[in-house]
């Protein structure tokens, strides 16, 4: 006989159970609503611009560049979609290719009469991409159409773009800060060696290979300072020349203004706007509302937005998708290599030995693709993943598909490694390149352990047994082993460069040894073939493949899912959180840019743990 009453829940359990069910239902409902909202935001961003109204006469293209100029997006599509849908996107990025395409399209569209350039929040990681964007604006202006620039103020990068405009306006409370080019890095020897008791052993070839000096010195070596000032001086003179040409300044005017800025500002009682007008850095002051009125008077008024305009995203949608190569109409593929070169399969917007190689392999196996442009914006990274990518470049050439390397802001060390075999190498005169050299770091911490009363001891069957244990002191034989390996790697590097450039190894060694050059200086030394930007490299690739002038162009890139981005973020943070956690309050006092540099530097040495040692072709030479 069953006893139903003994299994029936009591009144308290029924109440608690009912309450829990209600809570659980509410929880699932809330999460589902949040998920639905995210999906709606995502779909809104995807379909934003679909069914776009035709552009009317007297429309201004507004380029509101409140974000970072990149070669390839580093954030996930869903993050960008939500940011665009909510209007809250603190990590906004603008792809150079999108801006170039929009400016070219606006130049050829009779209904676009001008560009309104807004540069508040604009940042660029180097000069090459910024100069290419500036050149596109200059071409637009040369077509007879007007560019009007406006900002609440201008830093050095923003003013470079604004200088390409017919008229520059600024808020009366703004300032213009042109400061020159500097490269200052934190040095950690005292922290690591004296405070923490960690011994850092650097193995390198070349007195100019200074990437890892911050871990073993308290300041830059004379060689690194000499080399840095040489290439930075070249970039700075080109910046001054470009701005002076665009603004029609006399030679030396801008240099004198920058050098004498404190005294000149004091003479106008600290009024930056007056100084800027007096020195013809700007054409006048205007509020945002006054700018709207000015553009409306010259073009067409709009009740909601002040003047008739179209933004970047809507205009790109209006232009429609670029035509992809087909069997009937073959074309050129572009593979972007942006960021640090690391092992394995990495997310889009980064460089992985396997993932970037896979993109090049995909281009090789696609019969509609007849030539490839490798767009490089990288200071390098691991030697092995760099070699993996170089081999795929060689495989493309063996398959009869020419490869042209297009160097962006930085293509140094490993960035040069993956470029060197190209049929032609293009760089901007202000590209940072060279740094042909490698190094290795080995860190151990027996002194750190002694500080807390811990010592390591034991026995081994050979001198190498346990020699790579970071809790032990470095065995001299191991140091010799590592240096020999690094020496061999350097010889491999310069040997491959010599073969690719068809010169003697000794000639490459003279301009290698880890020394950094500007693009113009690299051209003088035979490390690159020609000056030019991405468009020049594409034209050269089409020419080598004997394609028609307007051959279709496509980007070969890895799709990035939100889940992959989340995993990448977790992976990137986990290794260095322990070391950085204690430093977070102090880092906050450094400002975001310097704090990020410290995080990157410390992440570099923490990420290197877990391997006995590795050869690195890296140049921390970005600006």
Ranges 121-125, 167-171, 495-499: which has the least confidence = 121-125
Write out pLDDT tens, residues 126-180. Answer: 999 999 999 999 999 999 999 999 999 999 999 999 999 999 999 999 999 999 9
- Mean pLDDT over 407-411 rounds to 97
CA 519 to chain centre: 18
pLDDT at 435 over 70: yes
Higher pLDDT, 324 or 524: 524
How much is the pLDDT for 422?
98
Predicted local confidence at residue 82, as pLDDT: 56
Residues 6+ apart with CB under 8 A from 177: 153, 154, 155, 156
> Which whole number is the average pLDDT over 94-108?
96
Answer yes or no: is pLDDT of 440 > 70. yes
Residues 553-566, mean pLDDT to the nearest whole number: 70
Q: CA geometry: angle at 488 spanning 483 and 492, to 5°?
A: 145
- Helix spans in 127-221 (H): 127-142, 156-162, 189
CATH superfamily assigned to domain 331-618: 2-enoyl-CoA Hydratase; Chain A, domain 1 (3.90.226.10)
At residue 125, the pLDDT reads 86
Predicted confidence (pLDDT) per residue in 202-255, tens digit: 999 889 999 899 999 999 999 999 999 999 999 999 999 999 999 999 999 999
566: pLDDT strictly greater than 60: no
Q: In this predicted structure, which of 367-376, 400-409, 548-557, 586-595 has the lowest mean pLDDT?
A: 586-595
Residue 567 has pLDDT above 70, yes or no: no
Question: Dihedral, CA atoms, 463, 469, 473, 476, nearest 10 degrees?
Answer: 40
Q: Where are the domains of the chain?
A: 59-181+226-319, 331-618
pLDDT at site 618:
82
Is the pLDDT at 412 greater than 60, yes or no?
Answer: yes
Residue 324 has what pLDDT?
86
Q: Would you state the pLDDT for residue 117?
A: 98
Please give the pLDDT value at position 4.
Answer: 43
pLDDT at 84: 59
pLDDT at residue 106 greater than cutoff 90? yes
For residue range 43-97, what is the model confidence (pLDDT) as tens digits?
555 454 445 678 999 999 999 999 999 999 887 665 665 555 555 555 689 999 9
176 bridge partner residues: 154
Average pLDDT over residues 452-469: 91
* Range 59-181+226-319 has CATH code 3.30.300.180: no
pLDDT at position 303 is 82
Q: What percent of the chain has pLDDT over 70?
A: 80
What is the length of the chain? 623
**What is the structure's pLDDT at 52?**
61
- The domains spanning 59-181+226-319 and 331-618 adopt the same CATH topology: yes
Residue 582 has pLDDT above 70, yes or no: no
Residue 308 CA, distance from chain mean position? 33
Distances from the Cα of 368 to the Cα of 279, 344, 422, 460, angstroms: 54, 28, 20, 59
Q: Please give the positions annotated as active site.
A: 209, 413
* 3-state SS assignment for residue 404: strand
Give CA separation, 133 vs 138, 380, 534, 539, in Å. 9, 24, 11, 17
What is the full DSSP assignment across 328-341? Answer: SS-EEEEEEEES-E
Alpha carbons 572 and 580: distance in angstroms, whole number: 13
Q: What is the DSSP letter of 154?
A: B
What would the pLDDT profile of 209-221 be if each residue is shown by its tens digit? 998 999 999 999 9
Q: Which of 134-143, 175-184, 256-265, 570-579 has the lowest mean pLDDT?
A: 570-579
Reported confidence tier of residue 492, pLDDT bands at 50, 70, 90: very high
Q: Is the confidence at residue 389, as pLDDT, over 50?
A: yes
pLDDT confidence of residue 49: 43
How far is residue 515's CA from residue 124's CA, in Å, rounded to a whole number? Answer: 24
Report the distance separating Cα 604 and Cα 623, nearest Å: 18
Q: Is the dihedral of CA 235, 241, 245, 249 positive or negative?
A: positive
- Check residue 145 and give its pLDDT: 97
Whole-number CA gyration radius for the chain: 28
Give residue 617's pLDDT: 83
Mean pLDDT score across all residues of the chain: 87
What's the pTM? Answer: 0.84
pLDDT digits (tens, 9 = 90+) for 6-53: 445 555 555 556 666 766 666 666 666 666 665 555 555 545 444 567
User: What share of the chain in percent tops pLDDT 90?
Assistant: 69
Rounded distance, CA 108 to CA 381, Å?
Answer: 41
pLDDT at 436: 96
pLDDT, average across residues 384-396: 97
């Amino acid at each position: 006989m069953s006893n139903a009453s003994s299994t029936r829940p009591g009144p308290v359990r029924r109440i608690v159970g009912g309450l829990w069910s209600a809570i659980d239902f509410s929880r699932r409902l809330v999460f589902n609503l949040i998920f639905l909202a995210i999906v709606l935001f995502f779909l809104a961003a995807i379909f934003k611009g679909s069914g776009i109204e035709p552009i009317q006469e007297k429309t201004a293209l507004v380029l509101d560049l409140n974000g970072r100029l990149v070669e390839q997006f580093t954030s996930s599509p869903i993050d960008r979609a939500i940011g665009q849908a909510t209007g809250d996107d603190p990590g906004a990025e603008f792809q150079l290719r999108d801006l170039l395409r929009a400016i070219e399209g606006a130049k050829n569209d009779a209904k676009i009469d001008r560009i309104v350039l807004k540069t508040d929040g604009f940042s660029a990681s180097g000069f090459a991409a910024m100069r290419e964007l500036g050149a596109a604006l200059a071409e637009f202006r040369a077509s007879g159409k007007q560019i009007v620039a406006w900002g609440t103020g201008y830093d050095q990068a923003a003013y470079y773009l604004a200088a390409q405009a017919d008229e520059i306006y600024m808020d009366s409370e703004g300032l213009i800060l042109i400061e020159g080019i500097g490269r200052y890095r934190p040095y950690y020897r005292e922290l690591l060696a004296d405070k923490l008791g960690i011994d850092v052993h650097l193995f390198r070839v070349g007195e100019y290979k200074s990437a890892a000096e911050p871990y073993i010195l308290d300041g830059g070596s004379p060689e690194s300072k000499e080399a840095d000032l040489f290439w930075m001086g070249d970039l700075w003179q080109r910046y001054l020349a470009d701005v002076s040409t665009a603004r029609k300044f006399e030679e030396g005017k801008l240099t004198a203004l920058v050098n004498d800025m404190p005294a000149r500002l004091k003479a106008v009682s600290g009024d930056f706007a007056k100084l800027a007008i007096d020195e013809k850095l700007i054409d006048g002051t205007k509020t945002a509302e006054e700018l709207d009125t000015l553009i409306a008077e010259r073009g067409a008024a709009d009740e909601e937005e002040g003047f008739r305009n179209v933004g970047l995203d809507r205009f790109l949608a209006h232009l429609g998708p670029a035509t992809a190569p087909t069997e009937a109409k073959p074309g050129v593929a572009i593979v972007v290599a942006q960021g640090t070169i690391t092992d394995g399969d990495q997310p889009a917007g980064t460089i992985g030995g396997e993932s970037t190689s896979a993109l090049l392999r995909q281009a090789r196996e696609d019969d509609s693709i007849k030539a490839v442009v490798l767009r490089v914006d990288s200071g390098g990274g691991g030697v092995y993943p760099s070699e993996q990518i170089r081999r795929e470049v060689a495989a493309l050439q063996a398959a009869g598909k020419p490869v042209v390397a297009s160097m962006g802001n930085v293509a140094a060390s490993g960035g040069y490694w993956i470029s060197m075999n190209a049929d032609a190498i293009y760089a901007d005169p202000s590209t940072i390149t060279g740094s042909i050299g490698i190094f290795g770091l080995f860190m151990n911490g027996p002194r750190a352990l002694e500080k807390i009363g811990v010592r390591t001891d034991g026995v081994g069957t050979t001198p190498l047994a346990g020699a790579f244990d970071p809790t032990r002191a470095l065995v001299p034989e191991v140091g010799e082993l590592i240096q020999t390996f690094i020496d061999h790697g350097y010889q491999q590097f310069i040997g491959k460069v010599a073969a690719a450039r068809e010169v003697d190894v000794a000639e490459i060694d003279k301009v290698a040894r880890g020394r950094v050059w500007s693009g113009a200086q690299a051209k003088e030394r035979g490390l690159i073939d020609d000056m030019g930007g991405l468009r020049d490299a594409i034209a050269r690739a089409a020419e080598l493949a004997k394609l028609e002038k307007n051959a279709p162009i496509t980007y070969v890139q890895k799709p990035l899912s939100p889940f992959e981005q989340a995993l990448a973020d977790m992976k990137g943070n986990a290794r260095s959180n322990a070391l950085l956690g204690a430093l977070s309050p102090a880092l906050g006092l450094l400002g975001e840019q310097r704090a990020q540099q410290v995080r990157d530097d410390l992440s570099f040495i923490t990420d290197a743990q877990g391997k006995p040692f590795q050869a690195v072709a890296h140049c921390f030479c970005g600006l």
